[in-house]
Structure 1
Amino acid sequence: MSARPLGGPAVVVRDLRKSYGPFEAVRGVSFDIEQGETFALLGPNGAGKSTTIEILEGYRDRSSGEVSVLGVDPHRGGSEWKARLGIVLQSGGEAADVTVREQVAHFSRFYPARRDVDELIAAVGLAEKAKVRIRNLSGGQRRRLDVALGVIGRPELLFLDEPTTGFDPEARREFWQLIRDLKREGTTILLTTHYLDEAAQLSDRVAVIARGELIDIGAVDTIGDRAARIPIVRWRDADGRLREERTDAPAAVVARLTAEVGGEPRDLEVIRPSLEDVYLGLVQAAESSASSAAGSASAGSESAA
Protein backbone atom coordinates (compact mmCIF):
# COMPACT_ATOMS: atom_id res chain seq x y z
CA MET A 1 0.00 0.00 0.00
CA SER A 2 1.39 3.43 -0.93
CA ALA A 3 2.21 5.96 1.79
CA ARG A 4 -0.22 8.43 0.23
CA PRO A 5 -2.84 8.32 -2.52
CA LEU A 6 -0.92 8.93 -5.72
CA GLY A 7 -1.87 11.91 -7.85
CA GLY A 8 -5.29 12.55 -6.36
CA PRO A 9 -7.17 13.99 -3.39
CA ALA A 10 -6.75 12.51 0.08
CA VAL A 11 -10.54 12.19 0.39
CA VAL A 12 -13.14 11.76 -2.35
CA VAL A 13 -16.87 11.71 -1.57
CA ARG A 14 -19.44 11.29 -4.34
CA ASP A 15 -23.23 11.33 -3.84
CA LEU A 16 -22.92 9.98 -0.30
CA ARG A 17 -26.18 8.88 1.27
CA LYS A 18 -27.05 7.35 4.61
CA SER A 19 -30.56 6.36 5.64
CA TYR A 20 -32.04 5.01 8.84
CA GLY A 21 -35.31 3.51 7.75
CA PRO A 22 -37.32 6.32 6.11
CA PHE A 23 -35.02 9.02 7.55
CA GLU A 24 -32.21 10.15 5.24
CA ALA A 25 -29.43 11.59 7.43
CA VAL A 26 -27.06 12.33 4.54
CA ARG A 27 -28.50 13.27 1.16
CA GLY A 28 -26.19 13.13 -1.84
CA VAL A 29 -23.15 14.87 -0.35
CA SER A 30 -20.09 15.27 -2.61
CA PHE A 31 -16.69 16.90 -1.95
CA ASP A 32 -12.94 16.34 -2.23
CA ILE A 33 -10.18 17.11 0.27
CA GLU A 34 -6.80 17.74 -1.29
CA GLN A 35 -3.61 16.29 0.14
CA GLY A 36 -2.17 18.65 2.76
CA GLU A 37 -5.37 20.68 3.00
CA THR A 38 -7.13 21.69 6.21
CA PHE A 39 -10.83 21.28 5.50
CA ALA A 40 -13.60 22.27 7.93
CA LEU A 41 -16.97 20.53 7.80
CA LEU A 42 -19.52 22.78 9.49
CA GLY A 43 -23.17 22.38 10.34
CA PRO A 44 -25.69 22.53 13.19
CA ASN A 45 -26.34 19.54 15.43
CA GLY A 46 -28.22 16.86 13.51
CA ALA A 47 -27.11 18.20 10.13
CA GLY A 48 -25.38 14.96 9.10
CA LYS A 49 -21.74 15.96 9.52
CA SER A 50 -20.99 13.43 12.28
CA THR A 51 -22.52 10.64 10.21
CA THR A 52 -20.44 11.72 7.22
CA ILE A 53 -17.23 11.72 9.24
CA GLU A 54 -17.96 8.34 10.82
CA ILE A 55 -18.37 6.88 7.32
CA LEU A 56 -15.02 8.37 6.27
CA GLU A 57 -13.37 6.93 9.38
CA GLY A 58 -14.75 3.48 8.63
CA TYR A 59 -16.94 3.35 11.73
CA ARG A 60 -20.27 3.47 9.89
CA ASP A 61 -21.46 1.93 6.62
CA ARG A 62 -23.02 4.12 3.93
CA SER A 63 -26.30 3.42 2.18
CA SER A 64 -24.97 4.44 -1.23
CA GLY A 65 -22.40 6.61 -2.96
CA GLU A 66 -18.65 6.41 -3.40
CA VAL A 67 -16.01 7.18 -0.77
CA SER A 68 -12.22 7.01 -0.95
CA VAL A 69 -9.93 7.90 1.97
CA LEU A 70 -6.19 7.80 1.28
CA GLY A 71 -7.01 5.74 -1.79
CA VAL A 72 -9.01 3.13 0.16
CA ASP A 73 -12.73 2.49 0.57
CA PRO A 74 -13.23 2.94 4.35
CA HIS A 75 -15.68 0.03 4.35
CA ARG A 76 -12.76 -2.22 3.39
CA GLY A 77 -9.96 -0.43 5.25
CA GLY A 78 -7.77 -2.75 7.32
CA SER A 79 -5.31 -2.18 10.15
CA GLU A 80 -2.58 -0.84 7.86
CA TRP A 81 -4.97 1.80 6.49
CA LYS A 82 -6.23 2.71 9.97
CA ALA A 83 -2.64 3.25 11.16
CA ARG A 84 -2.36 6.09 8.62
CA LEU A 85 -5.25 7.96 10.27
CA GLY A 86 -5.36 10.08 13.40
CA ILE A 87 -8.74 10.47 15.08
CA VAL A 88 -9.69 12.86 17.87
CA LEU A 89 -13.27 12.12 18.88
CA GLN A 90 -15.61 14.35 20.88
CA SER A 91 -15.00 12.19 23.93
CA GLY A 92 -12.19 9.83 24.78
CA GLY A 93 -11.86 6.67 26.83
CA GLU A 94 -8.45 7.01 28.43
CA ALA A 95 -7.36 4.56 31.13
CA ALA A 96 -7.64 6.44 34.41
CA ASP A 97 -4.93 4.67 36.45
CA VAL A 98 -1.89 5.71 34.40
CA THR A 99 -0.15 9.06 34.08
CA VAL A 100 -0.41 11.36 31.10
CA ARG A 101 3.12 10.52 29.97
CA GLU A 102 2.60 6.77 30.40
CA GLN A 103 -0.53 6.89 28.25
CA VAL A 104 1.04 8.95 25.46
CA ALA A 105 4.20 6.80 25.51
CA HIS A 106 2.06 3.64 25.33
CA PHE A 107 0.18 4.88 22.27
CA SER A 108 3.41 6.03 20.61
CA ARG A 109 4.65 2.43 20.44
CA PHE A 110 1.94 1.60 17.91
CA TYR A 111 3.42 3.94 15.27
CA PRO A 112 6.73 3.81 13.38
CA ALA A 113 6.86 7.58 12.68
CA ARG A 114 5.79 8.83 16.08
CA ARG A 115 6.26 12.30 17.50
CA ASP A 116 8.49 12.94 20.50
CA VAL A 117 6.40 12.17 23.58
CA ASP A 118 7.57 15.03 25.79
CA GLU A 119 7.48 17.62 23.01
CA LEU A 120 3.93 16.63 22.18
CA ILE A 121 2.78 16.74 25.79
CA ALA A 122 4.19 20.26 26.02
CA ALA A 123 2.56 21.26 22.71
CA VAL A 124 -0.91 20.39 24.02
CA GLY A 125 -0.27 22.26 27.27
CA LEU A 126 0.14 19.29 29.62
CA ALA A 127 3.84 19.53 30.50
CA GLU A 128 3.04 20.28 34.15
CA LYS A 129 0.58 17.35 34.24
CA ALA A 130 2.85 14.75 32.62
CA LYS A 131 3.20 12.73 35.85
CA VAL A 132 -0.42 13.19 36.96
CA ARG A 133 -2.82 10.25 36.72
CA ILE A 134 -5.53 10.74 34.14
CA ARG A 135 -8.33 10.34 36.68
CA ASN A 136 -7.10 13.53 38.37
CA LEU A 137 -7.23 15.70 35.23
CA SER A 138 -9.94 18.26 34.58
CA GLY A 139 -12.27 17.85 31.61
CA GLY A 140 -10.29 20.36 29.56
CA GLN A 141 -7.02 18.63 30.39
CA ARG A 142 -8.43 15.27 29.34
CA ARG A 143 -9.45 16.89 26.06
CA ARG A 144 -5.86 17.98 25.47
CA LEU A 145 -4.78 14.40 26.10
CA ASP A 146 -7.29 13.22 23.46
CA VAL A 147 -5.59 15.51 20.97
CA ALA A 148 -2.12 14.25 21.90
CA LEU A 149 -3.17 10.63 21.37
CA GLY A 150 -4.69 11.52 18.01
CA VAL A 151 -1.53 13.07 16.58
CA ILE A 152 1.24 11.00 18.24
CA GLY A 153 1.65 8.82 15.14
CA ARG A 154 2.14 11.69 12.65
CA PRO A 155 -1.02 10.68 10.75
CA GLU A 156 -1.38 11.33 7.03
CA LEU A 157 -5.03 12.27 7.59
CA LEU A 158 -6.19 13.70 10.91
CA PHE A 159 -9.86 13.83 11.94
CA LEU A 160 -10.51 16.52 14.55
CA ASP A 161 -14.02 16.44 15.99
CA GLU A 162 -14.57 19.52 18.19
CA PRO A 163 -10.90 19.37 19.27
CA THR A 164 -10.73 22.44 21.52
CA THR A 165 -13.87 21.93 23.59
CA GLY A 166 -12.88 22.76 27.16
CA PHE A 167 -9.71 24.66 26.19
CA ASP A 168 -9.08 28.10 27.62
CA PRO A 169 -8.17 30.86 25.11
CA GLU A 170 -4.41 30.42 25.59
CA ALA A 171 -4.62 26.65 25.17
CA ARG A 172 -6.73 27.05 22.02
CA ARG A 173 -4.09 29.24 20.42
CA GLU A 174 -1.33 26.82 21.40
CA PHE A 175 -3.36 24.05 19.79
CA TRP A 176 -3.85 26.12 16.64
CA GLN A 177 -0.08 26.39 16.35
CA LEU A 178 0.22 22.61 16.65
CA ILE A 179 -2.29 22.19 13.81
CA ARG A 180 -0.33 24.67 11.67
CA ASP A 181 2.84 22.68 12.37
CA LEU A 182 1.11 19.47 11.31
CA LYS A 183 -0.08 21.16 8.13
CA ARG A 184 3.47 22.26 7.33
CA GLU A 185 4.51 18.63 7.68
CA GLY A 186 1.97 17.73 4.98
CA THR A 187 -0.81 16.34 7.17
CA THR A 188 -4.30 16.48 5.68
CA ILE A 189 -6.80 17.63 8.32
CA LEU A 190 -10.58 17.30 8.48
CA LEU A 191 -11.95 19.56 11.21
CA THR A 192 -15.39 19.92 12.73
CA THR A 193 -15.91 22.72 15.23
CA HIS A 194 -18.61 24.98 16.63
CA TYR A 195 -16.00 27.72 17.03
CA LEU A 196 -16.29 29.54 13.73
CA ASP A 197 -13.22 31.66 14.45
CA GLU A 198 -11.28 28.40 14.76
CA ALA A 199 -12.47 27.26 11.33
CA ALA A 200 -11.57 30.66 9.87
CA GLN A 201 -8.10 30.59 11.43
CA LEU A 202 -7.15 27.04 10.43
CA SER A 203 -9.04 26.07 7.29
CA ASP A 204 -8.13 26.34 3.64
CA ARG A 205 -11.73 25.56 2.71
CA VAL A 206 -15.00 24.99 4.51
CA ALA A 207 -18.12 23.05 3.64
CA VAL A 208 -21.50 23.70 5.27
CA ILE A 209 -24.03 20.90 5.75
CA ALA A 210 -27.64 21.45 6.78
CA ARG A 211 -30.47 18.91 6.88
CA GLY A 212 -28.17 16.28 5.39
CA GLU A 213 -27.27 18.31 2.31
CA LEU A 214 -24.15 20.22 1.32
CA ILE A 215 -25.32 23.82 0.94
CA ASP A 216 -22.01 25.57 0.24
CA ILE A 217 -18.30 24.86 -0.11
CA GLY A 218 -15.26 27.02 -0.80
CA ALA A 219 -12.52 29.15 0.71
CA VAL A 220 -13.44 30.91 3.94
CA ASP A 221 -13.72 34.30 2.22
CA THR A 222 -15.84 33.03 -0.68
CA ILE A 223 -18.70 31.01 0.81
CA GLY A 224 -22.15 32.54 1.03
CA ASP A 225 -23.62 34.92 -1.49
CA ARG A 226 -21.87 38.19 -2.26
CA ALA A 227 -24.40 40.28 -0.35
CA ALA A 228 -23.62 38.40 2.87
CA ARG A 229 -19.98 39.51 2.73
CA ILE A 230 -20.56 43.24 2.09
CA PRO A 231 -19.27 45.38 5.00
CA ILE A 232 -21.63 47.51 7.08
CA VAL A 233 -20.90 51.08 8.18
CA ARG A 234 -22.89 51.93 11.31
CA TRP A 235 -23.19 55.28 13.12
CA ARG A 236 -25.58 57.60 14.98
CA ASP A 237 -26.93 60.63 13.19
CA ALA A 238 -27.42 64.13 14.64
CA ASP A 239 -30.75 63.05 16.18
CA GLY A 240 -29.18 60.03 17.90
CA ARG A 241 -30.79 57.50 15.58
CA LEU A 242 -28.74 54.39 14.72
CA ARG A 243 -28.01 54.33 10.99
CA GLU A 244 -26.21 51.80 8.82
CA GLU A 245 -25.18 51.38 5.21
CA ARG A 246 -23.94 48.28 3.39
CA THR A 247 -21.15 49.13 0.99
CA ASP A 248 -18.18 47.69 -0.87
CA ALA A 249 -16.35 50.95 -0.19
CA PRO A 250 -16.62 51.55 3.58
CA ALA A 251 -13.69 53.99 3.62
CA ALA A 252 -15.49 56.24 1.14
CA VAL A 253 -18.66 56.18 3.24
CA VAL A 254 -16.70 57.04 6.38
CA ALA A 255 -14.99 59.92 4.57
CA ARG A 256 -18.35 61.25 3.36
CA LEU A 257 -19.92 61.05 6.81
CA THR A 258 -16.89 62.72 8.39
CA ALA A 259 -17.13 65.58 5.91
CA GLU A 260 -20.87 65.97 6.52
CA VAL A 261 -20.60 66.29 10.30
CA GLY A 262 -17.22 68.00 10.40
CA GLY A 263 -15.67 65.19 12.45
CA GLU A 264 -16.10 61.55 13.30
CA PRO A 265 -19.77 60.50 13.57
CA ARG A 266 -20.97 59.18 16.92
CA ASP A 267 -20.57 55.43 17.56
CA LEU A 268 -18.96 54.93 14.17
CA GLU A 269 -17.98 51.36 13.34
CA VAL A 270 -17.19 49.36 10.23
CA ILE A 271 -18.39 45.76 10.50
CA ARG A 272 -16.97 43.17 8.15
CA PRO A 273 -19.09 39.99 8.19
CA SER A 274 -17.26 37.07 9.79
CA LEU A 275 -17.40 33.41 8.83
CA GLU A 276 -19.90 33.00 11.66
CA ASP A 277 -22.19 35.65 10.14
CA VAL A 278 -22.05 34.01 6.72
CA TYR A 279 -22.48 30.51 8.17
CA LEU A 280 -25.56 31.49 10.20
CA GLY A 281 -27.08 33.12 7.13
CA LEU A 282 -26.55 29.96 5.07
CA VAL A 283 -28.04 27.68 7.71
CA GLN A 284 -31.02 29.95 8.36
CA ALA A 285 -31.72 30.17 4.63
CA ALA A 286 -31.58 26.38 4.31
CA GLU A 287 -33.93 25.92 7.27
CA SER A 288 -36.33 28.53 5.89
CA SER A 289 -36.33 26.90 2.46
CA ALA A 290 -37.01 23.47 3.98
CA SER A 291 -39.87 24.85 6.09
CA SER A 292 -41.41 26.52 3.04
CA ALA A 293 -41.13 23.30 1.04
CA ALA A 294 -42.74 21.32 3.86
CA GLY A 295 -45.54 23.86 4.11
CA SER A 296 -46.19 23.70 0.34
CA ALA A 297 -46.24 19.90 0.41
CA SER A 298 -48.68 19.92 3.33
CA ALA A 299 -50.95 22.39 1.56
CA GLY A 300 -50.87 20.27 -1.57
CA SER A 301 -51.85 17.16 0.39
CA GLU A 302 -54.78 18.97 2.00
CA SER A 303 -55.95 20.24 -1.39
CA ALA A 304 -55.79 16.76 -2.84
CA ALA A 305 -57.81 15.45 0.09
Structure 2
Amino acid sequence: MSLVHAAHGRSDHTSAVHRTGEPQPGGRRGVRRTVAAYAALAKPRVIELLLVTTIPAMFLAGREIPSPWLVFATLVGGTMAAGSANALNCVIDADIDKVMNRTRRRPLVRDSVPRRGALVFGLVLGAASFAVLLLAVNLLAAVLAVATILFYIFVYTLGLKRRTPQNVVWGGAAGCMPVVIGWAAVQGTVEWPAFVMFGVIFFWTPPHTWALAMKYREDYERAGVPMLPVVATPQHVARQIVIYSWVMVGWTLLLAPATSWLYATFAALAGAWFLFYAHRLHATVRRGVATKPMALFHRSNTYLMIVFCALAVDSAIGLPVLGLPF
Protein backbone atom coordinates (compact mmCIF):
# COMPACT_ATOMS: atom_id res chain seq x y z
CA MET A 1 0.00 0.00 0.00
CA SER A 2 2.86 2.34 0.71
CA LEU A 3 5.86 3.27 -1.31
CA VAL A 4 9.47 3.28 -0.27
CA HIS A 5 10.87 6.69 0.54
CA ALA A 6 13.06 8.22 -2.13
CA ALA A 7 16.78 7.76 -1.57
CA HIS A 8 18.77 10.65 -0.15
CA GLY A 9 21.24 12.58 -2.24
CA ARG A 10 19.08 13.45 -5.25
CA SER A 11 19.57 16.75 -6.94
CA ASP A 12 17.32 19.66 -6.04
CA HIS A 13 15.94 19.59 -9.55
CA THR A 14 14.88 15.95 -9.26
CA SER A 15 13.27 16.57 -5.87
CA ALA A 16 11.38 19.54 -7.25
CA VAL A 17 10.09 17.50 -10.15
CA HIS A 18 9.11 14.74 -7.72
CA ARG A 19 7.09 17.18 -5.62
CA THR A 20 5.05 18.28 -8.60
CA GLY A 21 3.83 14.74 -9.09
CA GLU A 22 5.37 14.46 -12.58
CA PRO A 23 7.13 11.23 -13.54
CA GLN A 24 10.78 11.25 -12.51
CA PRO A 25 13.54 10.76 -15.03
CA GLY A 26 15.32 7.46 -15.07
CA GLY A 27 13.85 5.37 -17.88
CA ARG A 28 12.48 2.03 -16.77
CA ARG A 29 13.04 2.83 -13.12
CA GLY A 30 10.88 5.92 -13.42
CA VAL A 31 8.16 3.95 -15.20
CA ARG A 32 8.24 1.29 -12.49
CA ARG A 33 7.86 3.95 -9.81
CA THR A 34 4.89 5.46 -11.61
CA VAL A 35 3.20 2.10 -12.09
CA ALA A 36 3.84 1.18 -8.45
CA ALA A 37 2.38 4.50 -7.31
CA TYR A 38 -0.84 4.01 -9.28
CA ALA A 39 -1.09 0.42 -8.09
CA ALA A 40 -0.74 1.63 -4.50
CA LEU A 41 -3.76 3.90 -5.02
CA ALA A 42 -5.88 0.78 -5.46
CA LYS A 43 -4.78 -0.54 -2.02
CA PRO A 44 -4.03 -4.08 -3.22
CA ARG A 45 -3.74 -5.53 0.29
CA VAL A 46 -7.32 -4.50 1.02
CA ILE A 47 -8.46 -6.04 -2.27
CA GLU A 48 -6.81 -9.35 -1.39
CA LEU A 49 -9.13 -9.77 1.59
CA LEU A 50 -12.18 -8.92 -0.49
CA LEU A 51 -11.28 -11.52 -3.10
CA VAL A 52 -10.81 -14.17 -0.42
CA THR A 53 -14.53 -13.87 0.27
CA THR A 54 -15.66 -13.67 -3.36
CA ILE A 55 -14.38 -17.08 -4.45
CA PRO A 56 -16.03 -19.07 -1.63
CA ALA A 57 -19.30 -17.25 -2.36
CA MET A 58 -19.06 -18.51 -5.94
CA PHE A 59 -18.37 -22.04 -4.71
CA LEU A 60 -21.40 -21.94 -2.40
CA ALA A 61 -23.66 -20.53 -5.11
CA GLY A 62 -23.27 -23.69 -7.19
CA ARG A 63 -22.24 -26.13 -4.43
CA GLU A 64 -19.36 -27.06 -6.72
CA ILE A 65 -16.16 -25.70 -8.20
CA PRO A 66 -17.24 -22.94 -10.59
CA SER A 67 -15.88 -22.38 -14.09
CA PRO A 68 -12.27 -21.15 -13.88
CA TRP A 69 -13.02 -18.59 -16.60
CA LEU A 70 -16.01 -17.26 -14.65
CA VAL A 71 -13.93 -17.02 -11.48
CA PHE A 72 -11.15 -15.23 -13.35
CA ALA A 73 -13.50 -12.74 -15.01
CA THR A 74 -15.31 -12.05 -11.73
CA LEU A 75 -12.04 -11.50 -9.88
CA VAL A 76 -10.70 -9.18 -12.57
CA GLY A 77 -13.89 -7.13 -12.62
CA GLY A 78 -14.12 -7.15 -8.83
CA THR A 79 -10.49 -6.10 -8.46
CA MET A 80 -11.06 -3.18 -10.82
CA ALA A 81 -14.19 -2.12 -8.93
CA ALA A 82 -12.45 -2.26 -5.54
CA GLY A 83 -9.40 -0.47 -6.98
CA SER A 84 -11.65 2.24 -8.38
CA ALA A 85 -13.34 2.83 -5.02
CA ASN A 86 -10.00 2.86 -3.19
CA ALA A 87 -8.35 5.25 -5.65
CA LEU A 88 -11.27 7.69 -5.51
CA ASN A 89 -11.22 7.42 -1.73
CA CYS A 90 -7.54 8.44 -1.78
CA VAL A 91 -8.43 11.52 -3.82
CA ILE A 92 -11.17 12.59 -1.41
CA ASP A 93 -9.24 11.78 1.77
CA ALA A 94 -5.86 13.19 0.75
CA ASP A 95 -6.15 15.89 3.43
CA ILE A 96 -6.78 13.27 6.11
CA ASP A 97 -3.99 11.02 4.89
CA LYS A 98 -1.49 13.88 5.23
CA VAL A 99 -1.94 14.16 8.99
CA MET A 100 -2.13 10.45 9.82
CA ASN A 101 1.12 8.63 10.41
CA ARG A 102 -0.43 5.41 9.10
CA THR A 103 -1.25 6.94 5.71
CA ARG A 104 1.46 9.53 5.15
CA ARG A 105 3.23 7.35 2.59
CA ARG A 106 0.27 7.06 0.24
CA PRO A 107 0.91 8.29 -3.34
CA LEU A 108 -1.14 11.50 -3.21
CA VAL A 109 0.44 12.54 0.07
CA ARG A 110 3.92 12.01 -1.33
CA ASP A 111 2.97 13.68 -4.64
CA SER A 112 4.10 10.61 -6.56
CA VAL A 113 0.77 10.73 -8.42
CA PRO A 114 -0.98 13.96 -9.53
CA ARG A 115 -4.47 14.43 -8.11
CA ARG A 116 -6.06 14.61 -11.55
CA GLY A 117 -4.24 11.44 -12.58
CA ALA A 118 -5.57 9.62 -9.52
CA LEU A 119 -9.11 10.81 -10.26
CA VAL A 120 -8.94 9.67 -13.88
CA PHE A 121 -7.37 6.38 -12.82
CA GLY A 122 -10.21 5.70 -10.38
CA LEU A 123 -12.93 6.59 -12.89
CA VAL A 124 -11.36 4.50 -15.66
CA LEU A 125 -11.04 1.50 -13.36
CA GLY A 126 -14.71 1.84 -12.41
CA ALA A 127 -15.82 1.97 -16.04
CA ALA A 128 -13.56 -0.94 -16.92
CA SER A 129 -14.96 -3.04 -14.08
CA PHE A 130 -18.48 -2.53 -15.37
CA ALA A 131 -17.45 -3.44 -18.92
CA VAL A 132 -15.58 -6.59 -17.87
CA LEU A 133 -18.38 -7.86 -15.64
CA LEU A 134 -21.06 -7.01 -18.20
CA LEU A 135 -19.30 -8.72 -21.10
CA ALA A 136 -17.73 -11.68 -19.29
CA VAL A 137 -20.09 -12.31 -16.36
CA ASN A 138 -23.60 -10.81 -16.35
CA LEU A 139 -25.49 -7.54 -16.04
CA LEU A 140 -26.44 -8.03 -12.38
CA ALA A 141 -22.84 -8.47 -11.28
CA ALA A 142 -21.81 -5.38 -13.26
CA VAL A 143 -24.59 -3.23 -11.77
CA LEU A 144 -23.81 -4.42 -8.22
CA ALA A 145 -20.13 -3.53 -8.70
CA VAL A 146 -20.93 0.02 -9.81
CA ALA A 147 -23.46 0.40 -6.99
CA THR A 148 -20.75 -0.65 -4.53
CA ILE A 149 -18.34 1.98 -5.84
CA LEU A 150 -20.99 4.70 -5.60
CA PHE A 151 -22.00 3.62 -2.09
CA TYR A 152 -18.40 3.59 -0.88
CA ILE A 153 -17.68 7.04 -2.26
CA PHE A 154 -20.92 8.93 -1.64
CA VAL A 155 -22.35 7.19 1.43
CA TYR A 156 -19.23 6.18 3.34
CA THR A 157 -16.40 8.50 2.29
CA LEU A 158 -18.39 11.70 1.72
CA GLY A 159 -21.38 11.06 3.95
CA LEU A 160 -20.43 9.07 7.04
CA LYS A 161 -16.69 8.94 7.58
CA ARG A 162 -16.18 12.46 8.95
CA ARG A 163 -19.57 12.82 10.60
CA THR A 164 -20.40 9.85 12.82
CA PRO A 165 -18.70 7.16 14.89
CA GLN A 166 -21.07 4.73 13.17
CA ASN A 167 -19.15 5.32 9.94
CA VAL A 168 -17.64 1.85 9.64
CA VAL A 169 -20.82 0.14 10.79
CA TRP A 170 -23.01 1.35 7.94
CA GLY A 171 -20.27 2.36 5.54
CA GLY A 172 -18.77 -1.10 5.90
CA ALA A 173 -21.64 -2.44 3.81
CA ALA A 174 -19.54 -1.66 0.72
CA GLY A 175 -16.97 -4.22 1.83
CA CYS A 176 -19.71 -6.84 2.10
CA MET A 177 -20.72 -6.64 -1.54
CA PRO A 178 -18.04 -8.91 -3.10
CA VAL A 179 -19.84 -11.98 -1.75
CA VAL A 180 -23.12 -10.79 -3.28
CA ILE A 181 -21.37 -10.10 -6.59
CA GLY A 182 -19.75 -13.54 -6.49
CA TRP A 183 -23.11 -15.20 -5.92
CA ALA A 184 -24.75 -13.16 -8.68
CA ALA A 185 -21.93 -14.09 -11.07
CA VAL A 186 -22.81 -17.78 -10.72
CA GLN A 187 -26.58 -17.69 -10.29
CA GLY A 188 -27.58 -14.48 -12.04
CA THR A 189 -29.75 -13.72 -9.00
CA VAL A 190 -29.28 -12.90 -5.31
CA GLU A 191 -30.65 -15.44 -2.81
CA TRP A 192 -30.71 -15.75 0.98
CA PRO A 193 -27.23 -17.34 1.45
CA ALA A 194 -25.72 -14.29 -0.27
CA PHE A 195 -27.43 -12.01 2.25
CA VAL A 196 -26.19 -14.17 5.12
CA MET A 197 -22.60 -13.95 3.83
CA PHE A 198 -23.13 -10.20 3.50
CA GLY A 199 -24.14 -10.13 7.16
CA VAL A 200 -21.09 -12.09 8.27
CA ILE A 201 -18.77 -9.45 6.83
CA PHE A 202 -21.08 -6.63 7.96
CA PHE A 203 -20.75 -7.70 11.61
CA TRP A 204 -17.06 -8.59 11.20
CA THR A 205 -16.14 -5.08 10.00
CA PRO A 206 -16.63 -3.13 13.28
CA PRO A 207 -14.43 -5.39 15.48
CA HIS A 208 -11.82 -5.52 12.72
CA THR A 209 -11.75 -1.75 12.14
CA TRP A 210 -12.19 -0.63 15.75
CA ALA A 211 -9.24 -2.79 16.82
CA LEU A 212 -7.13 -0.93 14.25
CA ALA A 213 -8.57 2.42 15.34
CA MET A 214 -7.70 1.69 18.99
CA LYS A 215 -4.07 1.42 17.95
CA TYR A 216 -4.18 4.57 15.79
CA ARG A 217 -6.59 6.58 17.92
CA GLU A 218 -4.37 9.68 17.94
CA ASP A 219 -4.10 9.56 14.15
CA TYR A 220 -7.87 9.62 13.71
CA GLU A 221 -8.29 12.31 16.36
CA ARG A 222 -5.70 14.51 14.67
CA ALA A 223 -7.46 14.02 11.34
CA GLY A 224 -10.87 14.86 12.80
CA VAL A 225 -12.36 11.46 11.96
CA PRO A 226 -14.82 10.46 14.73
CA MET A 227 -13.97 6.76 14.87
CA LEU A 228 -15.50 5.10 17.92
CA PRO A 229 -12.18 4.89 19.85
CA VAL A 230 -11.83 8.67 19.41
CA VAL A 231 -15.20 9.58 20.90
CA ALA A 232 -15.73 6.74 23.40
CA THR A 233 -13.81 5.21 26.29
CA PRO A 234 -11.64 2.14 25.65
CA GLN A 235 -14.01 0.15 27.87
CA HIS A 236 -16.98 1.06 25.67
CA VAL A 237 -15.08 0.23 22.48
CA ALA A 238 -13.94 -3.14 23.81
CA ARG A 239 -17.49 -3.94 24.90
CA GLN A 240 -18.83 -3.09 21.44
CA ILE A 241 -16.16 -5.30 19.88
CA VAL A 242 -17.33 -8.20 22.03
CA ILE A 243 -21.00 -7.61 21.17
CA TYR A 244 -20.38 -7.43 17.43
CA SER A 245 -18.11 -10.47 17.62
CA TRP A 246 -20.85 -12.56 19.21
CA VAL A 247 -23.36 -11.46 16.58
CA MET A 248 -20.84 -12.20 13.83
CA VAL A 249 -20.14 -15.72 15.07
CA GLY A 250 -23.83 -16.45 15.48
CA TRP A 251 -24.46 -15.11 11.99
CA THR A 252 -21.93 -17.49 10.42
CA LEU A 253 -24.00 -20.40 11.72
CA LEU A 254 -27.01 -19.19 9.74
CA LEU A 255 -25.25 -20.62 6.69
CA ALA A 256 -25.44 -24.12 8.17
CA PRO A 257 -28.68 -25.03 6.29
CA ALA A 258 -26.92 -24.32 2.97
CA THR A 259 -23.76 -26.23 3.92
CA SER A 260 -22.71 -29.46 5.62
CA TRP A 261 -21.37 -30.43 9.01
CA LEU A 262 -17.86 -29.56 7.79
CA TYR A 263 -18.53 -25.83 7.44
CA ALA A 264 -20.65 -25.72 10.61
CA THR A 265 -17.84 -27.31 12.63
CA PHE A 266 -15.14 -24.97 11.36
CA ALA A 267 -17.38 -21.92 11.77
CA ALA A 268 -18.13 -22.85 15.38
CA LEU A 269 -14.51 -23.61 16.28
CA ALA A 270 -13.12 -20.51 14.57
CA GLY A 271 -15.83 -18.43 16.23
CA ALA A 272 -14.94 -19.75 19.68
CA TRP A 273 -11.27 -19.00 18.99
CA PHE A 274 -12.00 -15.41 17.94
CA LEU A 275 -14.42 -14.79 20.82
CA PHE A 276 -11.74 -15.88 23.28
CA TYR A 277 -9.42 -13.13 22.05
CA ALA A 278 -12.19 -10.53 21.85
CA HIS A 279 -13.08 -11.22 25.49
CA ARG A 280 -9.41 -11.16 26.45
CA LEU A 281 -9.04 -7.69 24.90
CA HIS A 282 -12.11 -6.55 26.84
CA ALA A 283 -10.75 -7.97 30.10
CA THR A 284 -7.37 -6.34 29.52
CA VAL A 285 -8.99 -2.96 28.92
CA ARG A 286 -11.14 -3.30 32.04
CA ARG A 287 -8.06 -3.99 34.15
CA GLY A 288 -6.42 -0.87 32.78
CA VAL A 289 -3.26 -2.62 31.64
CA ALA A 290 -1.50 -2.19 28.30
CA THR A 291 -3.55 -3.62 25.46
CA LYS A 292 -2.56 -5.00 22.06
CA PRO A 293 -5.56 -4.32 19.82
CA MET A 294 -3.54 -5.04 16.68
CA ALA A 295 -3.34 -8.67 17.75
CA LEU A 296 -7.13 -8.87 17.47
CA PHE A 297 -7.01 -6.95 14.19
CA HIS A 298 -4.69 -9.52 12.62
CA ARG A 299 -6.66 -12.42 14.10
CA SER A 300 -9.83 -11.00 12.58
CA ASN A 301 -8.27 -11.41 9.12
CA THR A 302 -7.30 -14.99 9.94
CA TYR A 303 -10.77 -15.71 11.31
CA LEU A 304 -12.52 -14.48 8.17
CA MET A 305 -10.17 -16.49 5.99
CA ILE A 306 -10.82 -19.68 7.98
CA VAL A 307 -14.60 -19.27 7.77
CA PHE A 308 -14.68 -18.60 4.04
CA CYS A 309 -12.07 -21.21 3.16
CA ALA A 310 -14.17 -23.75 5.07
CA LEU A 311 -17.14 -22.57 3.03
CA ALA A 312 -15.24 -23.13 -0.22
CA VAL A 313 -13.94 -26.58 0.76
CA ASP A 314 -17.36 -27.64 1.99
CA SER A 315 -18.95 -26.61 -1.31
CA ALA A 316 -16.21 -28.14 -3.47
CA ILE A 317 -16.46 -31.51 -1.74
CA GLY A 318 -20.21 -31.46 -2.18
CA LEU A 319 -21.18 -33.03 1.14
CA PRO A 320 -24.93 -33.30 1.84
CA VAL A 321 -26.31 -30.03 3.13
CA LEU A 322 -27.84 -29.90 6.59
CA GLY A 323 -30.99 -28.33 5.18
CA LEU A 324 -33.59 -26.16 6.85
CA PRO A 325 -34.96 -27.45 10.17
CA PHE A 326 -38.55 -27.14 8.97
Same fold (TM over 0.5): no
Q: TM-score, normalised by structure 1?
A: 0.27
Asked which structure has the greater CA Rg, the reply is: 1
Q: Which has the higher strand share?
A: 1
